[in-house]
Structure 1
Amino acid sequence: MTHETINGKPVHSAAKMYADEFKAGLLDRREFLTRASALGVATSAIYAMGGLTQPVHAAAHAKQGGTIRMQMEVRALKDPRTWDWTQIAFVGNGWLEYLVEYDSDGSFNGWLAESWEVNADATQYTFNIRKGVKWNNGDELTAEHIAYNFDRWAEGEAEGNSMAARVDSIVDPETKKAIDGAIEVVDSHTLRLNLRQPDITLIPGIADYPAAIMHPDDNPEDLLANQIGTGAYKNDSHEVGVKSVLVRNEGHDWWGYAEGKGAFLDRIEFIDYGTDPSAWVAAAESDEIDTIYENVGDFVSVFDSIGWNKAELATGSTIVVRPNQAATDADGKVIFEDKRVRQAIAMCVDNAVLLELGNAGQGVPAENCHVGPVHPEHDASVTRIPHDPAKAYALMEEAGMADYEFELHSIDDDWRKNTTDAVAAQMRDAGMKVKRTILPGSTFWNDWTKYAFSSTNWNHRPLGTQVLGLAYKSGVAWNEFAWSNAEFDALLDEANSIADAAKRREVMGKIQAIVIEEGVTIQPYWRSIYRHTRPGFVGTDIHIAYASQLYKWAVEA
C-alpha cells in the first residue's frame, strides 16, 4: 500500500495507474470505478483522481413505515455459502448482511467492513471491521466473526459451496481448506488475509450474494430457527413456492439507522406467482403486488402500458446453453466428449437470432465465451467460431454423431424457454435431431448442474475473470459444463495477478479463444434487465447483479 493520499485518503499505486488509463481513454468510467474501489480507495478519492465531479444525490423522497409486495419465486433457504439463486438472498438479506457492497455504477463500498487496504501486489488484504455493529442477539460484531466466515468459505469440499472459488487465493489446493496463517485476526476489529497468490477478484467475490455474513452460533442448515444477523429485518413466515414475509426487527437497534442508510419499510412480502409473466400482469392489475423481481421479453412493454415505473440496465447477465462434457447417455456414451460435436452445436446457431426470439432483442449478441464489453478485461478482437450450419453438420458426420438425437432441457419460463427453443430449431435446421424437454422450475433446479444438455441463466459479475472462475475453472461447484483445462486454469490465475489493464486484456484474449475453440458453451447474448414498480414507491430500481438492497426500498413521501 502506498502512503500517498488524496483528499486525506490513502491511495493504492495501481489506482493511480487506473486513473491515468481512464484519462487516456483506455478504461471507461465503470471500469475505473470498479478497479479503483476494489483496492479500497474511497469514492471521493476516486472521483478526484479521475477528474470527475462526484454526483450529488437529492434527499430520498422516502417516508418511514409501510409495506411493499414483490412478485418473486420463493425458494427454500439453505446455507448461505451454497446460495445459488438471488431470490434466496432477497429473503435472507433481511437479517444477513455483507462485508462489502457492490453498486450498479461499478463501485465497491464498505458495509460491515468500513474500509479495507490492499498491498502493492494484491497478496494481502486488511479489513477494518465497522465498530458498534450489533448482532440481533446482542453480541458485538468482531473480526473473529468475520474470520469464521472466511474459514467456512474456504472449505472446498463442502457440497455446493461456491464461495471456495471466490476465495481460492486463501485455499490450500491439497487440503481444500484455508491455508494456515491465511486468515489473521489482528485485533478485535481488524482482519488480515494473507493470500497464496495475487488476486484482484477477492473484493468482487465477497460482494456477491452467497457471501452473507453469519454468526458462529447460528445453524446454517436452518436459517429460520434463530435468525441471528446484523440486518434490520427478521422473517415472519416462509412458505416455499407461496410467500415469504420480512418484518422490521423492533427489538434490534440496526447500525444502519445511525448512518442514515434507510430500512424504511415495516414489512416486505415476497409472493410467488410462478414463472409465467402473464400471471404477474394479472396480479399487478388486481392490485396484489407493488413491484416485480424482474421483467422479461415482451412483458416489458405490457407493464409499460399499465403505467408502472420502469428501471432498466445493460448488464453482464446472460444465458448459457451448454453441453455437459461428463454426461453419459443410456448406453454409457460420453455424449460431448468429442470437441467437434461441441463446436458443431455452437456453429449451427446464430446468436443474433437467439437474442431476438429469446429475449425480444433486449440486449446485444455475445461471442460464446462469457466475457463481454461490460467486463474490464474483455478483448473485443476475439470472436466466436463463425455461424456455419453446413460445416456444423459436416463436423457431426465426421464425429459419427449425425444421426444422434440430443435431448435439450430448459425451465418452463418465458425467455429461457424461448431461447432454448430457438437453439433446438436452428440445430434441426442444420440437420440434427433434437428432443426438447421442458421442466417446471421446482424440478429443473434440483439437478441444474447435471443435465447433459441444458440452458441456465447467469447473473452479471463485475470482472470477466470472476465469472470464469466461478463457472469454468476445473472442479469448482458451479462448473455445470464439467470442463477441465489446465491451460485455461493457469491463464486465469495469471490474469487475476495482473493490475495493468492492457496486459490483463492480452491474457484474457487467450482465455476467450480457448473457451470458444473448445466449444464449451453457446453464450449467445448479454441482457438488458428490467424491473417495474407501481407508482408511489422509491428505491426499488433493479440492481445490475440482482443485489437485494432492501434498505433502499420505501413508500414515496
Structure 2
Amino acid sequence: MRMNGLNRRQFLATTAASGLMLGAGPVWAQAAEPKRGGTMRIGHLGGATSDSIDPATYAAGPVVTAMLAVCNNLVEIDAAGNPQPELAESWETTSDAKSWTFRLRGDARFSDGRACTAADVIASFNHHRGENTTSGAKGSLAQVVDIKADGTNAVIFDLESGNADFAMLLTDYHFVIMPGRADGTLDWESGLGTGGYVLTEHEPGVRITLTRRDDYWKQGRAWFDTVELRTINDATARQNALITGEVDVINGPDLSTLHLLQRQPGLHLVEVPGTAHYTMPMFTDVAPFDNVDVRLAMKYAVNRDEIVEKILFGHGAVANDSPIAPANRFYAGDLEQRSYDPERSKFHLKKAGLDRLAIDLSAADAAFSGAINMATLFQQSAAAGGIDINILREADDGYWSNVWLKKPFCLSYWNGRPTEDDMFGLVYAKGAEWNESHWGNERFNALLMQARAELNDDLRREMYREMQQLVSDDGGTIIPCFVNYIDVRNEKVAHGPSRRTASLTAGRSSNAGGVLPDRAALGRRRGPPARTNEYPNRTEDPNGTNCGNRRWRDRWRLDRKVHPAWARCGGVRPSSRGGAHSGCSDQQRDAGLSKDAVGPFGRDRQSDLGGVGGRGGSGSGLHSGKRAGTAGPETSGAGRDRSGGAAGCVDRLIHLGLSGDGTA
C-alpha cells in the first residue's frame, strides 16, 4: 500500500486524524504579507538549568520548541490532521501494517552540508531503542523489531504486530532526525539538524538562540533572521515581558488575570480546546496508593467543577481520570462522569481499612500555571472526604528533573497525543519510561497490543473504550480537567496555518501545540482581521455530529477589537470582557492550538517551529510538536510533550490567520 501525501481514505486503517478534520481556515495570504528578517522573541514556560538537547531526554518546552525548528521528522501532520511527508517523501506498508517503508527526499541536508541518509534515520531511532536507552519514547518503539536501510534513501521498520497508526507515531517530537556517527550512534551533541534554523546558543534554563538557514529545503518557512527563546517560568514576569515589549509571544498566561491581559492594546489571545490535561499521578507500587480503594477515594475527593471554574476560569472542561479527550478519535463519551463525592471518598477509605488518610503532595507552578492554587483547592475539598493533604512546595527550577517521576504524589501536565495508542503506550503501559504512576494492568496491556494491530475501527473503538474505563477506575492518575491551549502575541507577529491540537508555541509532532518560529513572520495587516476560532460557537462538528458532551461547553475569549466579525458568530453574544461561551466540536477539542508562527506555545511537531512547548505535552501553553505556523523557525513544542507530546507530544492543526502591523 503506497502513501504519498495520502488522505484518510488512502491511509490504511484510518489514523487518529480521521474524524478530527477541521474545515480550512484563513490562509496566510488572507492574514498578512510576510516579511523576511527581524528577531522573534518568545517568553517560554518550562525551562530549567538541567535542560539538554538530547532528544531522548529533553523535557523542557523551550528545548523541544527549538529542536523542532532545528530538525525535521520523517512525517508531519498538516492543518487538517492528516500525516504528510516531511523528510520522507513517501511511504508504504504491507497489508497487515507490520512492515513500513519510508523513502527519503534527496534535497534535505544538515546545516553542515551533509546529506540526510538512511543511516542517519536509523541512528536517530535506535537512540530511543534498546535496554540502555534513557529515552522517554522507548515504550513507543518497543513494537519495532528491526530498522534497516534499503539503499541510502529508504528505511524499513519491521513491527512485532500491525500498527495502523505507525506513520502518525513518527511525528512525535522525540523522533527528530539528527546525524549519525560511523559507529551507528547518534551525534545529538552537535545540535545539527535539517530544519530551517541553526542552534547558535543554548544557556540551559535561560535562553536559546536560533539563526535562520539560507539554504533550507522548505519554501515559505523560516522567515526570521533570529529566534530567541527566553525561559520565564514566573507567569507574572512572563506577562509583563509581553506587555513591555521585551518578548513578542508568550505561552502559559496566568488565567486569573487573562481578562486584564486581553485589554492591553496590541495584544491578541489565541485559544483552542484540545487534548492537554493536568494530572496528579500516584505511585501505585507504593503504599497507600497500592490499594485501589485509596486511589478511588482520592479521585472522588477532587472537586473538578471548582478547578475548572477557579483555576482554569472556564478555559477548559472537567475530565474523568482518563487522558483521552473528546478531541480524540476513540473518546468514550458514554462513560459515567466521576463527580465530587466526599462521602464516597470516605466509603473507599473505610474499605481500605482507614479512618483518615494523611498524604504529601509535591507541587510547583513550574508544572503548570496555577498549580499551587489547584493543589490548595484539592487540599480543601479532600479534607471533607477524610483526606489530609500536606502540600510540599517544590522549587520551580528542576521540577521536571527532581520531582516528576521521583516523588510518589505530585502535579503534572500533558498535552496529549495524536492517537490513543501513543498516549496510552507512552504513559500508561506497564514499564513505559514515562509511566508516571507506575501503574500496570494486565488486561489493559493486552488490549493495548490488540487495539494497535486491529484494522477494524468498530472493534478498536470497543477496545479503547474498555481501556479508558480501566484507566479511570483502576489507574493511578487523577485527571481533573482538560485545558484549552492559550497563547498571547503582539501585533508585530503573524503566522499562517496552525495545527488544531497545539498552541502557537507548541511543537509539531506531538499532541501539543505552539508557535513555530519557522512559520511566523512580520507582516502588515491586509484585509479584515482573521478569526482565532475555526468554529466559534458551535456545539456540533462541521459534519453535523453533536459532540454529546456537556462538559465541553468551553469559554472561548475573543478580542472584539481584533475580531469584530466573530462577535456575532453562532448567535452567541460576547461577554463584557470580550469572551463568549461556545460549544466545542470534536475537531475543536482536538485543536490543541498550534500557533505556528509566533511563538512559544506548544510542543507538538506539526509545524515548522512547533512553538514553545511545555511539558505537555507536553506549562500551560507549552506543547510539543512542530508544524504549526507558516513562517518563523520550525520547532515543536516543549517538554516531554506532556507533547507532543509530545508527545509531545499532539497533533492536529487549525488554520489560524493572524496578522498585525509593525516590525519586531
Secondary structure of the residue aligned to 1:154 is coil
Amino acid at match of 1:545: A
More helix by share: 1
Give 1:42's aligned residue.
none
Distance 2:213 2:290 in 1: 53
Contact 1:300 1:530 in 2 (8 A): no
2:69 matches 1:69: no
Give 1:452's aligned residue.
408
Distance 2:5 2:109 in 1: 27
The structural deviation recorded for 1:456 is: 0.1
Distance 2:409 2:41 in 1: 36
Alignment equivalent of 2:130, drawn from 139, 150, 155? 155
2:211 matches 1:247: yes
Distance 1:88 1:184 in 2: 29
Alignment equivalent of 2:386, drawn from 431, 434, 451? 431
- TM-score, L = length of structure 1: 0.84
Shift in alpha-carbon separation, 1:196–1:310, aligned structure 2, 3 A: same
The structural deviation recorded for 1:220 is: 8.8
Cα deviation code 1:11-57 (max 9, x no counterpart): 787748759xxxxxxx9xx53467xxxxxxxxxxxx9xxxx889866
The within-5 A match list for 1:62-211 is 62-73=34-45, 74-75=47-48, 76-103=51-78, 105-159=80-134, 161-170=135-144, 179=145, 182-211=146-175
Distance 1:287 1:293 in 2: 15
Amino acid at match of 2:98: T
Give 1:555's aligned residue.
522
CA RMSD of aligned residues (A): 2.8
Alignment equivalent of 2:466, drawn from 510, 525, 544? 510
Shifted more, 204-213 versus 438-447: the winner is 438-447
Contact 2:300 2:341 in 1 (8 A): yes
Contact 1:145 1:215 in 2 (8 A): yes
2:303 matches 1:350: yes
The within-5 A match list for 1:332-411 is 334-411=287-364
The within-5 A match list for 1:529-544 is 529-539=485-495, 541-543=504-506
Contact 1:408 1:454 in 2 (8 A): yes
Give 1:22's aligned residue.
none
Cα deviation code 1:48-91 (max 9, x no counterpart): xxxx8898663762111101111014342242022223322122
Distance 1:213 1:320 in 2: 30
Contact 2:119 2:180 in 1 (8 A): no
Contact 2:281 2:437 in 1 (8 A): yes
Contact 1:70 1:270 in 2 (8 A): yes
Runs of 5+ consecutive residues of structure 1 not aligned to the other structure: 20-26, 35-46, 171-178, 328-333
Work out which structure has the larger RCO, using CA pairs closer than 8 Å and 6 or more positions apart in sequence: 2
Contact 2:5 2:84 in 1 (8 A): no
Contact 1:235 1:245 in 2 (8 A): yes
The within-5 A match list for 1:258-269 is 260-269=219-228
- TM-score, L = length of structure 2: 0.71
- Number of equivalenced pairs: 504
2:422 matches 1:422: no
The structural deviation recorded for 1:10 is: 7.2
Runs of 5+ consecutive residues of structure 2 not aligned to the other structure: 497-503, 525-664
Shift in alpha-carbon separation, 1:347–1:531, aligned structure 2, 3 A: same
Shift in alpha-carbon separation, 1:428–1:519, aligned structure 2, 3 A: farther
Give 2:662's aligned residue.
none
2:271 matches 1:312: yes
Percent identity reads 22
Contact 1:343 1:519 in 2 (8 A): no
The structural deviation recorded for 1:137 is: 2.0
2:258 matches 1:294: no
The structural deviation recorded for 1:193 is: 1.3
Shift in alpha-carbon separation, 1:398–1:12, aligned structure 2, 3 A: closer
Secondary structure of the residue aligned to 1:147 is helix
Give 2:395's aligned residue.
440
Distance 1:17 1:54 in 2: 27
Contact 2:278 2:481 in 1 (8 A): yes
Shift in alpha-carbon separation, 1:444–1:374, aligned structure 2, 3 A: same
Give 1:31's aligned residue.
18
Shift in alpha-carbon separation, 1:104–1:468, aligned structure 2, 3 A: farther
Structure with max Cα Rg: 1
Distance 1:184 1:240 in 2: 35
Amino acid at match of 1:444: Y
Cα deviation code 1:302-327 (max 9, x no counterpart): 32111312221111000111211123
Contact 1:377 1:505 in 2 (8 A): yes
Distance 1:400 1:104 in 2: 52
The structural deviation recorded for 1:522 is: 1.3
Distance 2:327 2:289 in 1: 30
Contact 1:312 1:529 in 2 (8 A): yes
Distance 1:11 1:246 in 2: 34
Amino acid at match of 2:143: S
Amino acid at match of 2:512: A
